[in-house]
Amino acid sequence: MGLIRVLVALHPRDWRQRYGDEFAALLEDSRLTPSAVGNVAAQAAGLRLRAHQGPLLLVTAVLISVTCEVAAKRTGLAVNILWLPTDPLHALALLGAVGPWAALIIRIGGRRRAAGRG
């Protein structure tokens, strides 16, 4: 398998179907320096991450929220997630536990509004 085929194969399937042949022709006409190969690989990784952005955001929200909740419990700031923040430290712990969910909900709402206008 040639280097150009490998570089094209790094990209998501939808992208390859739409741009793969054109991109392969462009790469054939280009000088494939190590820097160029690195740039193409980075582009492909970015496209793959964007294709899975929703699940990654959800996993990130869960990890941040759980980490903040566990830290709040272990440090004695809270017994459970439904505590009332009585000082700035408690408020920060609560924000860390529920903030990622609020950010995720706002992001989803913004995308749905944007899709409705499109």
| Chain segment 57-106, per-residue pLDDT in tens | 788 888 888 888 788 778 877 776 566 677 788 788 888 888 888 888 88
Same domain, 35 and 58: no
3-state secondary structure of 70: helix
Range of the domain at 78: 53-117
Please state, rounded to an integer, the average pLDDT across all residues of the chain: 83
Percentage of residues in the chain with pLDDT exceeding 70? Answer: 92
Where residue 7 falls among pLDDT bands split at 50, 70, 90?
very high
Same domain, 29 and 60: no
Same domain, 75 and 108: yes
Mean pLDDT computed over 42-50 = 88
pLDDT of residue 81: 59
Same domain, 62 and 14: no
Residue 111 and residue 66: Cα distance in Å, rounded? 25
Same domain, 36 and 75: no
Same domain, 110 and 63: yes
Same domain, 19 and 63: no
